[in-house]
Structures are given as structure tokens and as C-alpha cells.
Structure 1
Amino acid sequence: MRKEKKDTRWMVSVALMAAIIVVLANTPLGMIQLPIIKATTVHIPVIIGAILFGPMAGAVLGGVFGICSLVSNTMAPTLLSFAFSPFMSTTGFAGVAKAVWISVGCRILIGVAAGWLWILLQKLKLNQLIALPITGFVGSMVNTVTVMGSIYFLFAQQYAQAKEVAVSAVWGLIMATVTASGIPEAVAAAILVTALGKILIAAVQRSR
């Protein structure tokens, strides 16, 4: 009975986090204005969910994030939607598989990486004020590095055509995106995960 109650609580908690992801992904709340760029916040619930409920929850929430990204890039295509929506593929089944990997697979990795990193840091007995920002920063960078890295390795030719540059210039553009967008997003994630995580961890512990 106790195990069933725990499993039900886990499912309800993950469902609530998933609902937050859907809201963020479909409203302006999913972006925060930084001095130079707009940083996404949709991966924040993925990281926090992985911390609170484990790597499996992180994987589920990352999958929800990925599906939202896939749907968004299908319903409102942008210049780079070919890399995120299988329905925008111009290279057949291979392109479909690559797009699903980038939009969904890479986002699942956010939750898995954040969840296992948190477990490791807890075993090392790191203070929450150290472990939370590390997990937030790394989880965010996993998103940026895996997505942009996959675009480089899987869609370099198409990316070059979309940006109207030579293929040789793609690496520089990828690194510029990681530096200009990925790092500020990771810093924002570290701050938000620390602020929200400490409160939510205490709330979850009290409810057990």
C-alpha cells in the first residue's frame, strides 16, 4: 500500500511538472530577457524535476519538453525547424530520425544528466547551495551542447544553407551560439534552480 501511494504521488508530481513545461513552452513565460538575448526557461522544470524525483522523472519531463519543441517547430516553422521537426525534413527518413533525436532525444538527456549528477553530488555530501547551481548550470549546458553539437554533426550542410554561409563557417556559428546564448542560459538556470530548488526540496521532504 505504501509503495502504491508513493508511486501515485510520483506520477502526480511529474504530471504537474510536465504541465508547467507545457505552459512555459507555449507562453512568453518560457523566455526571460537578458541584456543581449532572450534565454529559454523551459528546461528549468526538467532539471528541478530530475532533482526532486530522480533521473527517470527527468527523462519523462525532458521528453515532454522535446515534444513541445517538435510541435512548436511544426506548427510555427522557423529557419531552423528542419532540425527540430520530422515533418520539415528534406532528407527523407534519415532527416526524420535526426530531427526527432535533436528535438526529443537531446532534451531527454537534460533530465537524465541532471538527475544522476544530483545523486552524485548528494553522495559527495555537497551543500545544496553548491550542488543546486552546479546541477542547474550543467543541465542547461547539456541542452545547448547536445542540441547545437547534433545540428553541427547531423545538419551542417542544411544549417549552412539556411544561414547562407559556407559549410566551413558552421562550426564558428555553432560556437558563437553556445557562447552568446548557451552560457547566459546556463547562468540563469543555475540561479533559478538554486532559488526554486531549495524551496521545493524542503516542501517535498516535509510531505514525505
Structure 2
Amino acid sequence: MESETNKRTKTLVQIALLVAVMIVLNFTNLGLIPIPFSPLKVTTLHIPVIIGACLLGPKIGGILGFLFGLLSFINNSFVAPIVTSFVFTPLYSLGDYHGNFGSLIICFVPRILVGVFAGLIFQWMASKKCRTYLSGFVAGLVGSMTNTILVMGGIALFFGSEYASAKSSTLLAVIGTAVGVNGVPEAIVAAILTAAIVTPLLKILKRG
């Protein structure tokens, strides 16, 4: 039987690798995938969170989700703020647009729940004897759409009119574009990559 110390060490190594991947994705263009024949890009930053949740459970998924939120907070506060960064950080303002406590909720809560929900759905499907690739696929979909829906829902709740004004559009149009044009491709990419990565990794980890 594998000792508890060895198990903890393996878990810490896996967490460290996922954190390293998230940091690399965050500070390079690898975190954004262009959509063919479109100026839009889909983010992949939430995928290590979902993979970690599948491999290590919803608790670790939530911790990785917190890191995802922290990286977003750092980006929008200091590294590369844009006109709409106020919805993710109270430290940024531009003209009449100001962040507040609601910014922290939007920045962190959806990202934490990405890991929690993805981990829970993966565990539930595994308990029902679903195939690993199907469990990973669904967990990827759920995790990605959790991020999109809760972030846009939070923006609508706390900054609806300001966000629409910053985007020079109506709130409904902005949310519809974010969910339909960005959210759906992101969910599909997350589902495919999660299924493709988690399936072999779990086999390797079980052998180890």
C-alpha cells in the first residue's frame, strides 16, 4: 500500500504542475486560441482548473479556481488592464467606470466554482460507472459554462449599465455575444481537451 506521505507528495507535485501550466498560459498567448475566420479568441485558462478538479477532486479544483481568479485580478489590476477591467478589480477605474466589492465577487467566486462544479460532476459520473472520457467531457462543459454564465451574470447584476456603456452596446447584446460567440466555443474546447487529457492521465496515475 502506498503511504500517506507518498500520496501527499504526488498530490502536491500534481498541483504544482497545474499551477505552473496556469501561470504559463496566463502570461503568454497560449492562454488564448483564435477562432478560425473570426477576430475573437477563446480562453483556455480555466482548463487546468477543470483538469485538476477531475484528477484531484472539487476541493483542489476550488483552490486552483481561486488561483485562476487571482491571476485575472493581477492582469486587470496591474499587467494589462482594459476599459472593462473595472468589473474584475476595485483597484482599476477609467473615467466614470469604477470597480468595487462586486468586482472581487465576479473575479473570484465564478472561478472557484468552476473547479468545485467540475470536480463534483466528474466524481458523480464516475460513481455511476460512466466512461472516463465522457465524465471528462461533461466536466469540461460544466466547468467552462459555469465560468461564462456566472461571470456574465455577476457583471449584469453589479455593473450592467456601466459594462454595456463601456462596450458601446446594449447589455443584452453584450451578454448574448459573450455566451453565444465566446462561451460556446470555450465550452467545446474545454470539454474536448479535458476528456483527451484526463483519460490517459488517470490511467498513468493509477499505475503509479
Which residue number in structure 2 is paired with residue 178 of structure 1? 179
Distance 1:108 1:45 in 2: 13
Which of residues 122, 137, 142 is equivalent to 2:141?
A: 137
Q: 1:159 to 1:57 in 2, by over 3 A?
A: same
1:154-193 matched pairs, under 5 angstroms: 154-165=158-169, 169-193=170-194
Q: Greater share of helix residues, 1 or 2?
A: 1
For 2:117 and 2:197, the matched residues in 1 are separated by 19
RMSD: 1.7
Q: Among 27, 43, 54, which residue is 1:40 paired with?
A: 43
- Aligned-pair CA distance for 1:67: 0.7
Kindly state the Cα deviation for residue 146 of structure 1 after the two structures are TM-superposed.
0.7
Q: Report if aligned partners of 1:89, 1:99 keep a CA contact under 8 Å in 2.
A: no
- Structure-1 separation of matches of 2:18 and 2:185: 24
Percent identity (aligned) = 40
Aligned residue number for residue 5 of structure 2: 4
How far residue 172 of structure 1 moved from its aligned partner, in angstroms, is 2.9
Query: C-alpha offsets along residues 85-123 of structure 1, whole Å, 9 cap, x if unaligned?
Result: 220158xxx943211111122111100000001011011
**CA deviation profile, 1:54-93 (whole Å, cap 9, x unmatched):** 1111011111111111101112211210011220158xxx
User: Structure 1: any 5+ residue segments left out of the alignment?
Assistant: none
In the superposition, the TM-score normalised over structure 1's length comes to 0.91
Residues 10-53 of structure 1 show CA distances to partners (whole Å, capped at 9, x for unaligned) of 12211211111011011011011222321111111000000001
The 2-side partners of 1:159 and 1:133 are apart by: 32
1:174-197 per-position Cα deviation (integer Å, ceiling 9, x unaligned): 122100000011011111111111
Please tell me whether the aligned partners of residues 152 and 171 of structure 1 are also in contact (alpha carbons under 8 angstroms).
no
- Give the TM-score, by structure 2 length: 0.91
Aligned to 1:116: 120
Is contact 1:43-1:65 (8 Å) kept?
Answer: yes
Helix, strand or coil for the counterpart of 2:129?
coil
Provide the rounded CA distance (Å) in 2 between the counterparts of 1:33 and 1:79: 21
Aligned residues: 201
AA partner of residue 136 (structure 1): G
**Residue 77 in 1 paired to residue 81 in 2?**
yes
Letter in 1 for 2:107: S
Q: Is 1:65 the equivalent of 2:68?
A: yes
